[in-house]
A and B are shown apart, each in its own frame.
Chain A
Amino acid sequence: MSNQANFVDRPWTDPEAKPFIRVQSLSKNFGPFTAVDSVDLEIYQGELFSLLGGSGCGKTTLLRMLAGFETPTSGTIYIDGVDMTNVPPYERPVNMMFQSYALFPHMTVENNVAYGLKRDGIDKGEIKRRVDEMLNMVELTQFAIRKPHQLSGGQKQRVALARSLVKQPKVLLLDEPLGALDKRLRENTQFELMNIQEKLGVTFVVVTHDQEEAMTLSTRIAMMDNGRFMQIGTPTEIYEFPESRLVANFIGSANMFEGRVTENGPDHIIVQCKEPECEFYIDHGFAIQEGTRVWTAIRPEKIKVSKTPPESVESNQMKGAIDDIGYLGKLSTYRVRVGDDTIIEITSPNLSRPRDGSLVHDWEDEIYLSWDASSVVVLTK
Chain B
Amino acid sequence: MIDTDEIGSPEADISSSLKMRLFHTLQHNWKSVVVFVPYFWLLLFFLAPFFIVLKISMAEPAIASPPFQPMTEWVDDGVVQIKLVFENFIYLWEDDLYFKTYINSIKISSISTLICLLIGYPMAYAIVRASHTYKHILLMLIILPFWTSFLLRVYAWMGLLADQGTINNLLISLGIIDDPIRLLYTPFAVYVGIVYTYLPFMILPLYANMEKLDASLREAAADLGAKPVTTFLTVTLPLTIPGIIAGSLLVFIPATGEFVIPDLLGGGNVLMIGRLLYNEFTSNHDWPIASAVAIILLIVLVLPMMLYQHAQGKQVEG
Residues of A at under 8 Å CB distance from B? Answer: 67-69, 88-91, 94-96, 98-100, 102-106, 115-116, 119-120, 149, 163-164, 167
Contact = CB atoms under 8 A, between A and B. Distances in A.
Contact of B224 (A99, A100, A167): A167
A89 B223 contact: yes
Given A106-B238, A106-B239, A100 B214 contact: yes
B306 interface: no
Given A100-B216, A104-B217, A105-B318, A67 B225 contact: no
A105 B226 contact: no
B222 interface: yes
Nearest to A64: B219
Contact of B225 (A104, A106, A116): A116
A180 to B, nearest CB: 13
B81 to A, nearest CB: 59
A161 B238 CA distance: 23
B296 interface: no
Contacts of B224: 90, 95, 115-116, 119, 163-164, 167
B226 A102 contact: no
A91 B226 CA distance: 9
Nearest 5 A/B pairs, CB to CB: A116-B224, A119-B225, A102-B220, A102-B216, A89-B222
Interface string B233-250: 011001100000000000
Contacts of A163: 220, 224
A190 to B, nearest CB: 23
Given A105-B239, A106-B238, A119-B230, A98 B220 contact: yes
Given A67-B223, A98-B219, 15 more contacts: A69-B219, A89-B219, A90-B225, A90-B226, A96-B223, A100-B214, A103-B220, A104-B217, A105-B239, A105-B318, A119-B224, A120-B225, A163-B220, A164-B223, A167-B225
B227 interface: yes
Nearest to A95: B223
B221 interface: yes
Contacts of A95: 223-224
14 contacts: A67-B219, A68-B222, A88-B222, A90-B225, A90-B227, A95-B223, A96-B223, A98-B216, A100-B216, A102-B220, A105-B239, A119-B230, A149-B318, A167-B225
Contacts of B219: 67, 69, 89, 96, 98, 102
B137 to A, nearest CB: 19
Contacts of A67: 219, 223
Nearest to A92: B223
A205 B217 CA distance: 20
A67 B226 CA distance: 14
Nearest to B215: A102
Contacts of B234: 115
Interface of B: 214, 216-217, 219-227, 230, 234-235, 238-239, 318
Main secondary structure of the interface of B (DSSP, over half): helix
Contacts of A96: 219-220, 223
A53 B136 CA distance: 34
Contacts of B235: 104
B170 to A, nearest CB: 43
A258 to B, nearest CB: 44
A96 B238 CA distance: 23
A103 B223 CA distance: 12
A115 B221 contact: yes
B214 A102 contact: yes
A164 B223 CA distance: 9
A42 B88 CA distance: 84
Nearest to A120: B225
Nearest to A160: B220
Contacts of B223: 67-69, 89-90, 94-96, 164
Nearest to B238: A106
Contacts of A104: 217, 220-221, 235
B278 to A, nearest CB: 44
A64 B78 CA distance: 87
Contacts of A89: 219, 222-223
Contacts of A68: 222-223
A244 to B, nearest CB: 34
A95 B222 CA distance: 10
A232 to B, nearest CB: 26
A99 B215 CA distance: 12
A145 B51 CA distance: 48
A163 to B, nearest CB: 7
Most buried by A among B216, B217, B223, B225: B223
B238 to A, nearest CB: 5
Q: Which of B217, B219, B224, B225 has the most CB of A within 10 A?
A: B224
A147 to B, nearest CB: 10
Contacts of A149: 318
B226 to A, nearest CB: 5
Nearest to B239: A106
A252 to B, nearest CB: 32
A7 to B, nearest CB: 32
A4 to B, nearest CB: 37
A73 to B, nearest CB: 18
Nearest to A173: B223
Nearest to A69: B219
Nearest to B219: A69
A68 to B, nearest CB: 8
Contacts of B214: 100, 102
B143 to A, nearest CB: 29
B214 to A, nearest CB: 6
Contacts of A119: 224-226, 230
Nearest to A114: B224
A178 B234 CA distance: 28
A105 to B, nearest CB: 7
B46 to A, nearest CB: 36
Nearest to B227: A90
A106 B315 CA distance: 12
Contacts of A106: 238-239
Nearest to B220: A102
B239 A90 contact: no
Contacts of B226: 90, 115, 119
A163 B217 CA distance: 13
